[in-house]
């Protein structure tokens, strides 16, 4: 259980059809609750799986009609398990808030203006913002008196050091829609760059590749973000498991005209990318299919590798070179074939990877470069740890 000076945070990840609650004591996750929808007698019901710090899991013997019920039930479960009580109350609730705009380029303790800003953000994030709104609203109701915070996914990237933050659009359009290349995966980049400094690995020019279900890359100069691949939304940049990545804007406009804006955004975010090309959003399955010679899997794999290598090359050209490359997130950390294939394109830059190198968990990072090569690091990310650090600062500053 937490000590008196250790803050206790509940981190929410609110999806369109799921709700995940992760309880942290300091930066250590001690319990998580996952509510997801299932078919039950022809109706959609929600079940909850509880995962504990010791690795044990159990499913709650109950079903609910709405995700809104999840908050009251989560509170009851956490209290029953002894994780929160009068002696160890919650210090804050963190709602991961994928949304664009000036307001959401910072973290906020929720106030009266937050819902108005969320309403405005629904224009560009119709798939993600409703879940965040649900999370904020229900958190306020279920945990009265506990600070609720919207945690920005772009905060770490919205620095004056950024050289690619604007779009070449008329000023009145930019101002009306509050448009900008805000970027995303900021919590991941913030954590990884913090670890790079702690480990004494900071180079003049570093490119970090966050390759997971969503994929992005960011170039850093002297540890500060200079270029990032995602833009107003995570749809820009690299192709990923279900996102198109950058495409001709006319395609988006045509889809919007035919399907409506919300449906077009859904198609490009949820039904495209790897799953559209190869029928799977699992890189392991795509690699296996490519090894079997399936043409769709080969095409998907090659497009993915070329995209990542090409983005590294683009940033290297803009920064005048690159001194270190970092891989993080699920694919970046675990997939030897992906790392090897990407780096095979970049040997002309002075990089050569060991294709049998794996993560050294004891050290917390691994340099997978061959001797004489510029460094190629694997550094596991921890987005929750970064958000918790920022949330602690918000609370301390308010006090």
| DSSP-assigned states of every residue in 58-126 | EE-S--BS-TTHHHHHHHHHHHHTTSSSSSS---EEEEEE---SSGGGS-EE--TTHHHHHHHHTTT-T
> To the nearest 10°, the Cα dihedral for 263, 264, 269, 270?
50
Token reading at 257? 């005209």
3-state SS, residue 326: strand
Q: Which of 28, 65, 111, 153 is catalytic?
A: 153
**Strand positions, DSSP E, the chain:** 8-14, 18-25, 28-40, 43-52, 57-59, 92-97, 108-109, 148-152, 205-211, 215-221, 224-228, 324-328, 366-367, 376-378
User: What is the Cα–Cα distance from 333 to 197, expressed in whole angstroms?
Assistant: 19
153 is catalytic: yes
User: What is the Cα–Cα distance from 313 to 76, expressed in whole angstroms?
Assistant: 51
User: What is the Cα–Cα distance from 185 to 288, expressed in whole angstroms?
Assistant: 28
Token reading at 192? 């990884």
b/e sequence 61-84, b meaning 16+ C-beta within 10 Å: eeebeebebbbebbbebbeeeebb
Taking a C-beta distance cutoff of 8 angstroms, is the pair 199, 365 a contact? yes
Provide the 8-state DSSP code for 347.
G
Backbone angles phi, psi at 65, to 5 degrees: -85, -20
Return the active site residues.
153
């Amino acid at each position: 259980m937490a000590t008196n000076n250790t803050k206790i945070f509940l981190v929410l990840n609110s999806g369109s059809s799921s709700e995940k609650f992760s309880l942290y004591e300091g930066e250590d996750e001690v319990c998580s609750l996952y509510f997801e929808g299932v078919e039950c007698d022809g109706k959609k019901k929600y079940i909850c799986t509880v995962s504990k710090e010791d690795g044990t899991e159990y499913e709650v013997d109950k079903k609910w009609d709405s995700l809104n019920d999840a908050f009251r039930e989560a509170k009851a479960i956490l209290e029953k398990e002894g994780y929160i009580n009068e002696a160890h109350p919650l210090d804050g609730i963190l709602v991961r808030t994928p949304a664009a705009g000036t307001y959401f380029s910072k973290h906020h303790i929720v106030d009266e203006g937050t819902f108005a800003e969320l309403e405005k953000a629904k224009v560009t994030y119709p798939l993600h913002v409703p879940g965040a709104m649900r999370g904020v609203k229900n958190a306020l109701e279920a945990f009265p008196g506990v600070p609720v915070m919207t945690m920005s996914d772009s905060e770490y990237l919205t620095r004056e050091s950024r050289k690619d933050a604007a779009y070449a659009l008329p000023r009145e359009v930019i101002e009306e829609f509050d448009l900008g290349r805000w970027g995303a995966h900021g919590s991941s980049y913030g954590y990884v760059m913090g670890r790079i400094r702690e480990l004494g690995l900071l180079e003049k020019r570093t490119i970090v590749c966050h390759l997971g279900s969503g994929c992005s890359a960011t170039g850093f100069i002297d540890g500060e973000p200079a270029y990032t691949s995602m833009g107003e939304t995570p749809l820009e940049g690299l192709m990923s498991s279900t996102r198109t990545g950058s495409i001709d804007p006319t395609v988006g406009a045509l889809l919007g005209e035919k399907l409506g804006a919300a449906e077009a955004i859904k198609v490009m975010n949820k039904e495209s990318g790897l799953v559209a090309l190869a029928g799977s959003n699992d890189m392991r399955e795509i690699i296996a299919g490519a090894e079997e010679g399936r043409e769709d899997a080969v095409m998907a794999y090659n497009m993915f590798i070329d995209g990542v290598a090409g983005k590294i090359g683009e940033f290297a050209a803009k920064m005048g070179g690159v001194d270190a490359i970092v891989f993080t997130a699920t694919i970046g950390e675990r997939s030897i074939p992906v790392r090897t294939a990407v780096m095979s394109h970049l040997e002309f830059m002075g990089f050569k990877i060991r294709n049998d190198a794996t993560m050294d968990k004891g050290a917390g990072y691994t340099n997978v470069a061959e001797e004489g090569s510029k460094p190629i690091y694997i550094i596991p990310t921890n987005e929750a740890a970064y958000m918790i650090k920022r949330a602690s600062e918000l609370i301390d500053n308010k006090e």
